[in-house]
Structure 1
Amino acid sequence: MPEHARVTLRYGPYRSCGIVEHRTFRLQGLQAMLKAEGHEVILKEIPDWNEVQLIVNGETVFQCNINDLDFGGDGKLDPLCKEACDAVLKAY
């Protein structure tokens, strides 16, 4: 159970306004929650469309569709952010 883990947040491009590219707007809440719990977050772009993966100690502990995350905010009201943070705490 790492309290202060190094979390690699891998994310792919997604479509917004008809343009497909890597954006971090939907990752703001997730990043904020992870940093608030004392984790170090490293962003890494991947080619897989709509994909979000959290890697701790070389193991994928959480993944979801980037479009399922809330846009902007602090992540406190997004149940997926809570689920992702719990997955990081359970990683070993």
Structure 2
Amino acid sequence: MMLLTCPWCGPRDETEYHYGGQAHVAYPENPSDLSDEEWAEYLFFRDNPKGPFAERWSHSAGCRRWFNVVRDTATYEVLEVYTNADPRPVVGSPAGGSR
């Protein structure tokens, strides 16, 4: 079981949270200008690194707020937890690629 620390509620078991996918994926500036292939890239394709990766999590059984976690995908070690208002931390290799 993984232990995540909600920035507002403190440490809780992972069963209290909901995974929200890759963090820092920017919404397209002009969505109507995108081709079908570009929409597919935005909607369905995400980075899948071995190592540090920035993810979104929601404390669904607690305060219900969203926050970001940098987690090592090979070891499941949580490297950093930060709110959406905080700047993206620099941890090890680039977390989540170039998106």
* TM-score of the superposed pair, with normalisation by structure 2: 0.30
More helix by share: 1
Higher radius of gyration, 1 or 2: 2
1 or 2 for the larger relative contact order (CA 8 Å, sep ≥6)? 1
* TM-score of the superposed pair, with normalisation by structure 1: 0.31
